[in-house]
């Protein structure tokens, strides 16, 4: 089904059918989980706002007044078969990932249902947490000095740019969460992911940076044939591939989310290395540091180049990687020399 046949009227009609039908119990479950109010958990009023149009979902923000509180949720709506397939995979992935990540860093899912749409089609949707005060962030040219920075799309007040220290903290936390989600025994990981897709959101409060992961489209091994039957060296090689790909992907975005391919500044490299090692269990970290220490610079860059060619996600990334790969390898090797000796 093409999304063009789904009008705004059809969209909101389907959302209303969900909220008053199969989604009513999901709403009550969410309110019982999210609200501290002692009032009844069945909502008397629900406000719905279509937030954005994405490749797979068209999310709506659900606001529910409960006493003096206001509980916010997200209703992700898929109007195409591709979106529905992505949703089925994501619901499984979010459940798996939530077991490996700190509580509250990924949204809790309260329920999913299919609602009849136009022309005898079905619109699938699921209800989950909305992270209040968190917003998308993207690389952007800062109009104050013309240099590339990182802008936060704060829709509550106004967009703002992060300091270099805050940018480093974003990259560190991204690396930490993705590494925590990685299963060294099976090679399962969140992939694909992309900063341009807004998979992570950020909030700055009193100078402190908080990050949340709101999407996990797939959770599976990326190396063909990876299984529990591999020996230790093969598991370490799989972890190396994950790590090198992480250092690259953490630097790739699109200017302002939809523009040309953009490459993050040097601050991203040591921050990614730090977050990665923080995300590993201590025993694995020690073994992997020893494994990394055995690589000469030329050997590490050779593997890095293979990873870059294998895991690029969009054609526009090819020239970007070609331009920056050599310098990235040098910066990464230098960061590892700082990080490997200690534990």
Give yes or no: residues 33 and 154 share one domain.
no
Residue 327 contacts residue 269 (beta carbons within 8 Å):
no
What is the per-residue pLDDT across 238-264, written as a single tens digit (0 to 9) for each? 999 999 999 999 999 999 999 999 999
Domain boundary at 67, 102, 129, which?
129
Instruction: Provide the CATH number for the domain around residue 121.
Output: 3.30.200.20
What's the domain count of the chain? 2
Instruction: Determine the pLDDT at residue 321.
Output: 95
Instruction: Determine the pLDDT at residue 228.
Output: 54
Instruction: Determine the pLDDT at residue 48.
Output: 96
Give yes or no: residues 58 and 155 share one domain.
no
Give yes or no: residues 110 and 246 share one domain.
no
Mean pLDDT (whole number) for 283-301: 95
Give yes or no: residues 124 and 153 share one domain.
no
Whole-number average pLDDT of the chain: 92
Give yes or no: residues 28 and 115 share one domain.
yes
Instruction: Determine the pLDDT at residue 271.
Output: 98
Instruction: Determine the pLDDT at residue 1.
Output: 39
Domain boundary at 108, 129, 150, which?
129
Mean pLDDT (whole number) for 321-327: 96
Lowest mean pLDDT among 32-36, 113-117, 223-227, 280-284: 223-227
Instruction: Determine the pLDDT at residue 223.
Output: 72
Tell me the pLDDT band of 287, cut-offs 50, 70 and 90: very high
Omega before 18 within 30 of 0, i.e. cis: no
pLDDT surpassing 90 at residue 222: no
Q: Which domain, by its residues, includes 204?
A: 137-339
Give yes or no: residues 100 and 183 share one domain.
no
Residue 249 contacts residue 308 (beta carbons within 8 Å):
no
Tell me the pLDDT band of 226, cut-offs 50, 70 and 90: low
Give yes or no: residues 117 and 203 share one domain.
no
Give yes or no: residues 153 and 103 share one domain.
no
Give yes or no: residues 174 and 123 share one domain.
no
Tell me the pLDDT band of 231, cut-offs 50, 70 and 90: confident
Give yes or no: residues 220 and 289 share one domain.
yes
What is the per-residue pLDDT across 109-138, written as a single tens digit (0 to 9) for each? 999 999 998 877 899 999 999 999 999 999
pLDDT surpassing 90 at residue 323: yes
Instruction: Determine the pLDDT at residue 147.
Output: 93
pLDDT surpassing 70 at residue 66: yes
Domain boundary at 112, 129, 146, which?
129
Give yes or no: residues 190 and 105 share one domain.
no
Give yes or no: residues 189 and 283 share one domain.
yes
Q: Could you give the CA distance from residue 30 to residue 292 in angstroms, rounded to a whole number?
A: 45
pTM above 0.85, yes or no: yes
pLDDT surpassing 80 at residue 343: no
pLDDT surpassing 90 at residue 158: yes
């Amino acid at each position: 089904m093409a999304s063009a046949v789904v009008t705004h009227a059809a969209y909101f009609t389907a959302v209303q059918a969900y909220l008053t039908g199969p989604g009513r119990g999901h709403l009550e479950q969410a309110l019982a989980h999210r609200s501290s109010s002692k009032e009844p958990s069945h909502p008397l009023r629900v406000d719905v706002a279509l937030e954005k149009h994405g490749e797979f979902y068209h999310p709506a923000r659900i606001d529910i007044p409960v006493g003096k509180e206001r509980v916010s949720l997200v209703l992700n709506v898929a109007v195409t078969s591709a979106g529905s397939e992505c949703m089925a995979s994501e619901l499984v992935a979010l459940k798996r990932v939530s077991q490996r990540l700190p509580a509250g860093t990924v949204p809790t899912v309260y329920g999913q249902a299919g609602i009849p749409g136009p022309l005898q089609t079905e619109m699938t949707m699921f209800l989950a947490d909305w992270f209040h005060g968190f917003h998308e962030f993207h690389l952007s040219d800062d109009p104050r000095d013309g240099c590339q920075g990182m802008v936060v799309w704060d829709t509550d007040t106004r967009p703002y740019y992060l300091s270099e220290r805050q940018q480093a903290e974003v990259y560190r936390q991204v690396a930490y969460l993705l590494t925590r989600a990685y299963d060294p025994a099976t090679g399962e990981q969140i992939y694909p992911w992309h900063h341009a897709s807004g998979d992570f959101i950020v909030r700055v409060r009193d100078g402190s940076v908080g990050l949340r992961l709101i999407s996990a489209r797939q959770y599976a091994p990326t190396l063909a044939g990876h299984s529990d039957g591999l020996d230790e060296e093969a598991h370490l090689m799989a972890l190396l591939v994950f790590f090198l790909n992480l250092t690259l992907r953490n630097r790739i975005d699109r200017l302002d989310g939809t523009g040309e391919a953009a490459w993050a500044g040097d601050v991203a490299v040591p921050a990614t290395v730090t977050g990665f090692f923080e995300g590993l269990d201590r025993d694995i970290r020690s073994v992997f540091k020893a494994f990394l220490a055995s690589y000469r610079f030329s050997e590490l860059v050779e593997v890095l180049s293979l990873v870059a060619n294998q895991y690029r996600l969009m054609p526009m990334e090819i020239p970007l990687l070609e331009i920056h790969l050599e310098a990235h390898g040098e910066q990464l090797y230098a960061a590892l020399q700082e990080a490997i000796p200690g534990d």
